[in-house]
Chain A
Amino acid sequence: MLRAFRCDLHVHTCLSPCADLDMYPRAVVEKAIAENLDIIAICDHNASENMQFVLRLAEGKPLTVLPGIEITSSEEVHLLALFDTLTDLKKIQDIIYSHLSGTNREEVFGCQAIVNDQDEVEGFNERFLLGATKLPLLEIIHYVHECGGLAIACHIDRESFSVISQLGFIDPDTPFDALEVTRHTGIQGARVKYAELARYPFLVSSDAHFIKDIGQGVTTIFLEGGTIAELKMAFDHQGGRYVQE
């Protein structure tokens, strides 16, 4: 049955060097439930080692967690990739790691903690997750689609790491599935500010780096369930599914 799903499709964990250490998997899941969210997507920078733990903690809970990742293109544009399964995510993760070089310097960029479902620190990701991959944006979108995922341009209203800040404008032929804006702009604001991008669905998400931010940017989407296929239908206005604006 079609119903309203409260979605926050861009949430970090403590694996992201810029995110708070209190963003460990259990805390993220508990806060998402407390905020009455129906669907969240976990999207750490270029990495996903905490994903399995978040998924395990959400099992049997009234919360759907979509495995995702926030990829940095060679142009330093941030792109969200969302999937149904860890297997799909793993395919893109392998591609990203083979095009990402460097080692993290924790004292400069922050800690990249892998925390399990028992709240134990399992280790640290040593890669330079804040770095840019060598993959051009269009190539990444192609890979995401090939792996069965959705490609969403991140916070296009921000002055850093957004497709507009880096590349000046969005060519309407770019096959983004949706464009994300911050809650400060909002979907209605985005429709006015980016009138030329009318063909794209817009989303608001929190891009939470702190627990308190989870649920501070929410999009209500009418779906039958929390899957990539359902979201795609909503983005394409099919079968009664839609994004509430």
Chain B
Amino acid sequence: MDLESVVKALNLKVRSGEDKLKKEVLGGYTGDLLSDVMANSKEGDLWITRQVHQNIVAVASLKEHAGIVLVQDSEPAKDTLEKAIKEGIPILVSELSGFEVTARLFNLIKKTA
């Protein structure tokens, strides 16, 4: 399933990486501790987090994530957004909680698998 379909299905607001929505979402990872995300997430994951610090862009880029979903309507910090635009990392915003976004994404991916 590509990122664009996830954006539509979960009604996500696109804050950066509009031209990267054709990326394939292979899985998901939920976490706010960047050390944990760096250690355990995988390439192609859509990363679900509440953390808005600019290091999230570096982690998503390093791990080759499909994109980042910020939950609870959290907006990326200014420098985070600038970095994400520069590096072409999709940052998406959901008004839902991490629990709900995770559950919905899991069901979406399972359905198409």
A contact residues vs B (CB 8 Å cutoff): 75, 136-137, 159, 164-169, 171
Q: Chain B 48-62, CB within 8 Å of chain A: the 1/0 string?
A: 000101110011000
Q: Which residues of B contact A171 (CB under 8 A)?
A: 54-55
A71 to chain B, nearest CB (A): 15
Q: Which residues of A contact B38 (CB under 8 A)?
A: 168-169
Q: Tell me, yes or no, whether B35 is within 8 Å of chain A by CB.
A: yes
Q: Which residues of A contact B54 (CB under 8 A)?
A: 171
B99 to chain A, nearest CB (A): 19
Q: Tell me, yes or no, whether B34 is within 8 Å of chain A by CB.
A: yes
B73 to chain A, nearest CB (A): 15
Count chain B residues whose beta carbon lies closer than 8 angstroms to a beta carbon of A. 13
Q: Chain B 25-44, CB within 8 Å of chain A: the 1/0 string?
A: 00000001111011000000
Task: State the majority secondary structure of interface residues on A.
Answer: loop
B contact residues vs A (CB 8 Å cutoff): 32-35, 37-38, 51, 53-55, 58-59, 77
A165 B77 Cβ-Cβ under 8 A: no
The 4 tightest CB contacts between A and B, nearest first, are A168-B34, A167-B55, A165-B35, A75-B53
- How far, in angstroms, from A195 to B38 measured CA to CA in the complex? 19
7 pairs, CB–CB < 8 Å, chain A vs chain B: A75-B53, A136-B77, A137-B53, A165-B35, A166-B34, A171-B54, A171-B55
A197 to chain B, nearest CB (A): 15
Query: Which A residue's beta carbon lies closest to that of B59?
Result: A168
B77 A167 Cβ-Cβ under 8 A: no
B33 A166 Cβ-Cβ under 8 A: yes
A168 B55 Cβ-Cβ under 8 A: yes
B47 to chain A, nearest CB (A): 12
B91 to chain A, nearest CB (A): 16
B53 A169 Cβ-Cβ under 8 A: no
B33 A169 Cβ-Cβ under 8 A: no
B77 A169 Cβ-Cβ under 8 A: no
Q: Which residues of B contact A137 (CB under 8 A)?
A: 53
Q: Which residues of A contact B77 (CB under 8 A)?
A: 136
Query: Which A residue's beta carbon lies closest to that of B54?
Result: A171
Q: Which residues of A contact B32 (CB under 8 A)?
A: 166
Query: Which B residue's beta carbon lies closest to that of A76?
Result: B32
Knowing A136-B77, A164-B35 touch, does A169 contact B58 (C-beta < 8 A)? yes
B94 to chain A, nearest CB (A): 19
